[in-house]
Structure 1
Amino acid sequence: MKKGNFVIGFMLFALFFGAGNLIYPPILGMESGTSYFAAISGFVITGVGLPLLAVTAISFVKNDARELADRVHPLFGLLFTSVVYLAIGPFFGIPRAATVGYEMSLEPFQSGELPLFLFTTIFFILVFLFSLNPSKVVDQIGKYLTPLLLLVITALILGGFLLLKTPLGSPNPNYRANPFFNGFVEGYLTMDAIAALAFGIIVVNAYRERGVHTNKAIVKETLKSGLITGVGLVAVYGSIGWIGARMASYGPFENGGDLLSFAADTILGTYGVILLGIIVTLACFTTSVGLVVACGQFFAKVTMLSYKWVIFIVTMASYIIANQGLNTILDFSVPVLVFIYPIAIVLILLTFLNKAFQGSRYVYRFAILFTALVSLYDGLSEFGFSLNRITPYVEKLPFFEIGLGWVVPAIIGFLIGLLYRAIKEPNN
């Protein structure tokens, strides 16, 4: 592989490896216990496999994720991609990254509203400055920040493997019954599959700047850098998840951050907590820069605002929301992710099947419509809306009990779309 593949692969790793990627694997390990390997396998599919598929899907098109979503309908393309960028950007993704960075680095030593305000002020000033020149993001992140991030993570992981010898405990009821599928749904919370729809164009542009212009060559090079990213993510997820599994008997823990802080203190003492704070802050910072750049490039295209004004607005909105606190952000983010994620998954998969049905809009529309109906129900349920009249019918869907009730409707929509295409477009 070329040096550029490693630089872009490391950059993509850093963009993906943010707040949720550190917090959720340890909790999965703690709750799955002896079912850990089945659970982490499911997590890897949605936490690593789908994001890399999404990045590759973007490499098939000339522009950004909107071009993929436009295959359903131009209005859908604009609305869906806008919602995706707002969700992973100023509304949830960026504020979550900043507040997790604060809670894991500064709060163990100094808590309160003022420390959060000071931390986020410095954090977002630096994010804005790094985002001003997107052409240098690859070099800044891929060459410097990612190796440092990997070095610190490796220190914690090695300490965990050498010092934590506690046997694995019994899985909780959810992971006892369906460890693989519970891990699969848990991977949603990383937000990486929908974030990849934004990050993909950064990768494509990075290769274009290096003289790679044909679609075939870009797809090939994207797969190479994606392989590097995937190996790194699987190794880190598997390792910190394993630490969580080993730490279960030391609990209970409120969340993955609490667990990792305790693990760092157990393995390396106070310096371990500081080390963990560096890991999280770097991970959250690099992800935030990538998201601000992606939002800036997208909204500069669909609005009359310049790139600098967009990233300023995105940074300020993220700054304000971040100061509302992590719990508030999480309360609103989960229902939105439950709604968006299945639609994004189906859209990504249809991209790879596009040639098989000649890109027929009927296939895209029916598959996305049927998926959206179920995912909308799931999202509204997460928000706390009472849907008693339709709940008995939705609960009868296959895989509903494991959070995948949208799968069969998506397949049915795909098949109806094929049939409709055969009727309306008999010569294609």
Structure 2
Amino acid sequence: MKTKDTLLIGLMLFALFFGAGNLIYPPFLGMESGTSFWIAITGFIITGVGLPILAIAAIALVKDGAEGLASRVHPIFSFVFISTVYLAIGPLFAIPRGATVAFEIGLKPFVQGGSIDSIALLLFTVIFFGFVYIISLNPTKMVDRVGQWLTPALLLAIVSLAVASFLKLEAPAQDVSEKYASSPFFTGFIEGYLTMDTIASLAFGIIVINAIKAKGVETHKDIMRHTIKAGMIAGVGLAFVYVAIGIMGVKMASYGTFENGSSILSSGAELLFGPSGKLLLGFIVLLACFTTCIGLTIACSQYVTKWTTKISYKTTVTVIVLFSLFVSNLGLNQIITLSIPVLVMVYPITIVLVMLAFLNRFFNGAQLVYCGAIILTLIVSTIEGLAMYGLKINGLQTLIEKLPFFQLGLAWVVPALIGGIVGYILERYTNKKPLDTKTKHVA
């Protein structure tokens, strides 16, 4: 495969990852971390860039992709979990959220408000999903359309905003906020995984692998090699953008108090470019959301058609687009409220699966290790997710709150470790042949 092809696939992957949420977090981190920005952004990049790229590599590492990885726990678990992931990052939450965020930042500031907002949202989403539908119908051209045109346009717009802020905003960094005062690196580390891109990697992995195969790459080793290269290209792009708009957040802290990253970017764009700044920001957000929605639509459609031949790819795309159109008109706040608890349940399981994929050879792929780690992670994350819906199981909730790292949203970490260790011990004493970690095992 040519270097140009790898570059285009890497740019496509960058655009797929880079949604509106990725624009909002770094500026707010910059504002709050102040003089500790570089330490905080380093932690953010490790989880906001490192984990998603590792997940993409893990999907390429496993013969049957995300389904194959989850099947190491159990085939039934694989079907239920992967289906839940695709629904969460697809038509139930992520795709509609992308469309509504594009509307909120790209168009809503220019409409009157009130009942007109609902009409404008409907018209906007009809046009938005119309274009998503057209491009998604031919996934083989995804690399050319996104890699050659949309990604460079997105990067150019972001660079314009970042360069202008670097040259025109001369305010010094403010004192670090209380949130980042004690441990700026670890706080940034936690904020990075909230981008939820690691979950999206399970869906985007198949797009990258199919794009590489379409270029004539056949062997598993070569597919993985090119996947890692494409992932590195996307990672460098993401890291650059995070630092650039993070610095903008650091400087904007001197110009007022802001509730979130969106308001920082909006105010900064208007301050730098006047009224046209809002248009530039709207263009950036629109492209970011558009490319992500296309990628998710394609990934979800390919997943459905992989399981059944009775439903065509075109029909699946049509259903996903129409359902996403309906959900998006519920409004951004409603979508976010419904989606966060589900993501709280799914994300820890995804992280554990990715980590186990890379540790696989050390325990010779023992199924009980996967089962032990995933079962305890699933219990903890499910209890926390249900609690966010108001369904608290008092005794279990009290126990969860006593676990290490609960306050950081990482209560699942220690149970996952314990489950994996117990599974390893059980595997050794229930299996007639002792585990040989030196035995070669295809990951």
Q: Same fold (TM over 0.5)?
A: yes
- Among 102, 112, 121, the alignment partner of 1:116 is 121
What is the match of residue 76 of structure 1?
77
Whichever residue aligns with residue 411 of structure 1, its letter is L
What is the match of residue 420 of structure 1?
426
What is the match of residue 349 of structure 2?
343
Whichever residue aligns with residue 78 of structure 1, its letter is F
What is the match of residue 441 of structure 2?
none
**Cα pair 1:56 1:222 within 8 Å, conserved:** yes
Q: 1:336 to 1:172 in 2, by over 3 A?
A: farther
Query: What's the CA shift string for 1:131-153, capped at 9, x where partnerless?
Result: 00111111111111111111111
State the Cα distance separating 1:276 from its structure 2 match: 0.8
Give the TM-score taking structure 2 as reference length.
0.93
Mapped pair 1:271 → 2:272: no
**Cα pair 1:52 1:230 within 8 Å, conserved:** yes
Instruction: Identify which range, 24-33 or 138-147, moves more after superposition.
Output: 24-33
SS in 2 for 1:254: coil
SS in 2 for 1:409: helix
- Among 127, 150, 153, the alignment partner of 1:148 is 153
What is the match of residue 58 of structure 1?
59
Query: What's the CA shift string for 1:124-182, capped at 9, x where partnerless?
Result: 00001100011111111111111111111110000111111222223333222333333
CA distance in 1, matches of 2:357, 2:133: 33
- Among 314, 319, 330, the alignment partner of 1:313 is 319
Matches within 5 A, 1:2-21: 2-21=3-22
Q: 1:97 to 1:139 in 2, by over 3 A?
A: same
Structure 2, unpaired ranges of 5+: 436-443
Query: What's the CA shift string for 1:219-248, capped at 9, x where partnerless?
Result: 111111111111110010111122112212
State the Cα distance separating 1:403 from its structure 2 match: 1.5
State the Cα distance separating 1:297 from its structure 2 match: 0.2
CA distance in 1, matches of 2:185, 2:148: 35
State the Cα distance separating 1:36 from its structure 2 match: 2.1
State the Cα distance separating 1:27 from its structure 2 match: 1.7
CA distance in 2, matches of 1:31, 1:384: 30
CA distance in 2, matches of 1:96, 1:183: 24
Give the TM-score taking structure 1 as reference length.
0.96
Instruction: Identify which range, 85-94 or 394-403, moves more after superposition.
Output: 394-403
CA distance in 1, matches of 2:214, 2:63: 14
What is the match of residue 192 of structure 2?
187
CA distance in 2, matches of 1:188, 1:380: 20
Mapped pair 1:167 → 2:168: no
CA distance in 2, matches of 1:347, 1:187: 18
CA RMSD in angstroms comes to 1.5
SS in 2 for 1:247: helix
- Among 257, 270, 294, the alignment partner of 1:252 is 257
SS in 2 for 1:62: coil
What is the match of residue 89 of structure 1?
90
What is the match of residue 46 of structure 2?
45
Whichever residue aligns with residue 296 of structure 1, its letter is S
CA distance in 1, matches of 2:231, 2:249: 26
Whichever residue aligns with residue 240 of structure 1, its letter is I
What is the match of residue 135 of structure 2?
130
**Cα pair 1:293 1:311 within 8 Å, conserved:** yes
**Cα pair 1:20 1:189 within 8 Å, conserved:** no
**Cα pair 1:175 1:182 within 8 Å, conserved:** yes
**Cα pair 1:88 1:191 within 8 Å, conserved:** no
Query: What's the CA shift string for 1:296-329, capped at 9, x where partnerless?
Result: 0001122432111111111111111111111111
CA distance in 2, matches of 1:282, 1:177: 37
**Cα pair 2:344 2:384 within 8 Å, conserved:** yes
CA distance in 2, matches of 1:265, 1:196: 34
Instruction: Identify which range, 372-381 or 324-333, moves more after superposition.
Output: 372-381
Instruction: State the number of aligned residues.
Output: 428
Whichever residue aligns with residue 242 of structure 2, its letter is Y
State the Cα distance separating 1:250 from its structure 2 match: 2.8
CA distance in 2, matches of 1:387, 1:185: 26
**Cα pair 1:19 1:96 within 8 Å, conserved:** no
State the Cα distance separating 1:380 from its structure 2 match: 2.2
CA distance in 2, matches of 1:415, 1:386: 29
What is the match of residue 223 of structure 1?
228
What is the match of residue 374 of structure 2?
368
**Cα pair 1:51 1:193 within 8 Å, conserved:** yes
What is the match of residue 400 of structure 1?
406
Instruction: Identify which range, 33-42 or 136-145, moves more after superposition.
Output: 33-42
CA distance in 1, matches of 2:388, 2:31: 24
**Cα pair 1:42 1:184 within 8 Å, conserved:** yes
Instruction: Identify which range, 387-396 or 184-193, moves more after superposition.
Output: 387-396
Whichever residue aligns with residue 134 of structure 1, its letter is P
Identical-pair percentage: 53
CA distance in 2, matches of 1:244, 1:389: 42
SS in 1 for 2:141: helix
Whichever residue aligns with residue 353 of structure 2, its letter is L
State the Cα distance separating 1:360 from its structure 2 match: 1.4
Mapped pair 1:297 → 2:302: yes
CA distance in 2, matches of 1:277, 1:170: 30
State the Cα distance separating 1:189 from its structure 2 match: 3.1
**Cα pair 2:20 2:98 within 8 Å, conserved:** yes
